[in-house]
Structure 1
Amino acid sequence: MEIVGFVAAFLTTAAFLPQVYQTWKTKDVSSLSMPMLSMFFVGIVLWLIYGISIDSPSMIAANSITVVSAFMLVYFKLKYAKR
């Protein structure tokens, strides 16, 4: 089952990375919702904590990368938002 977890982890994490890259490249954050980003970030942190607590390498790997990616989007949203 851990192989299934790693495949799922790869797909869900990889699917998120183009958004981070596009936002970094264009600096356009107008379509990003801060409430969604905040809830997503907290949710991913909780999934990471859960993955650590059950010692699941696939959950730890995927959520560690996604925490960083989500944090970057929150940072971009705060930095590039029109004030």
Structure 2
Amino acid sequence: MENIVGGAAGILTSVSMIPQLIKVLKEKNVEDLSAGMLIVLISGLSLWVWYGIMKTEWPIILSNAFAVMVNLWLGICLIIYRK
């Protein structure tokens, strides 16, 4: 049961920003995105990846690495589409 709960949590948190990324890519509008929030979120997720590496916990590593990538894309969009 622990693996099911942990897997579900990892998947949901990993994909949570995908709707935001899709919206930004469609509208090319980043006015409502906070650079500070993205920096803090990417930093926290990166620390989770590091923690997963230290513990050799692949679900933690993979889910958080995916989330880092999604949020880095949002950060790139923030730079490209900023007015």
What is the TM-score normalised by the length of structure 1? 0.90
Give the number of equivalent residue pairs. Answer: 82
- Give the alignment of 1:10-21 within 5 angstroms: 10-21=11-22
What are the equivalent positions in structure 2 for 1:1-83 lying under 5 Å apart?
Answer: 1-82=2-83
Give the drift of 1:2: 2.9
Structure 2, gaps ≥5 residues long: none
- 1:47 is paired with a residue whose SS is helix
TM-score, normalization by structure 2: 0.90
Residue 12 of structure 1 deviates from its aligned partner by: 1.2
Q: Could you say what the CA RMSD is over the residues aligned between the two structures, in angstroms? A: 1.0
**Identity among equivalent pairs (%):** 33
